[in-house]
Chain A
Amino acid sequence: MDEKARFQRFVGIIVVILVAGAIFVIAFANGGTDNWATVMSLMVLVTMAAIALIVARKKMKELKNGIPSEDERSRAIRMRAGYLAFYISLYFLFGMAFFHTILEDSEISSIPTSEWLMIYVAVMGSIFLVTNAYFTRKGVPE
């Protein structure tokens, strides 16, 4: 796949995700769901849109200069960051399950599963972004 087609695919995927997210947030807001969840969803969506805009601008600039958007090192970094994000967030999931069981009558336990899931995905995404940025600057450990 050439660079232009890869960029177009990236923009297409982002647009689909953002439109689906916007529909989800609107449905959430109209469905009488509590305010906190709607605000959280909106914040996630706005953050995603902002990150997508920054990445798209960077990719477009690179496309104009003939720099490949990815190569074997960036693929290795992404794989390593993805592996770590999955692995660490799995421990986080076990931790959440543990606290959920231990603190049965506390406020933590009263958080619904859907919100736990959102937190879990946010943690996984954050770990991915942080490790990806770290390995990009410092190099991937062998």
Chain B
Amino acid sequence: MKTRIKELRARYNLTQEDLAKKVGVRRETILFIEKGEYNPSLNLAHEIARKLKTTIDELFIFED
């Protein structure tokens, strides 16, 4: 799974720590999600998408 979190973070000038604080998780969690090494829960994915003003579909790219 790939994500566009890094790209969108840059657009809104947010650091990993800023985003982590906004969605109530630790910075490492954002780091691992960005690297595609951790699959967030639906709730967290929704929360991240909301904070980055996008949708889950736009944020996460699932590869077949």
Do A and B make up one complex? yes
A66–B38 CB distance below 8 A: no
Interface residues on B, range: 10 to 19
Interface SS majority for chain A: loop
When distances are taken between beta carbons in the complex, the residues of chain B under 8 Å from A73 are: 25-26, 28-29, 32, 38
Q: Which of B8-60 contact A (CB under 8 A)?
A: 20-21, 24-29, 32, 37-41, 44
Interface set of B (CB-CB < 8 Å, partner A): 20-21, 24-29, 32, 37-41, 44
| Further contacts, 13 of them, CB under 8 A, given A68-B24, A68-B25, A72-B44 | A66-B21, A70-B26, A71-B24, A71-B25, A71-B26, A71-B29, A72-B41, A73-B26, A73-B32, A136-B28, A139-B37, A139-B38, A140-B38
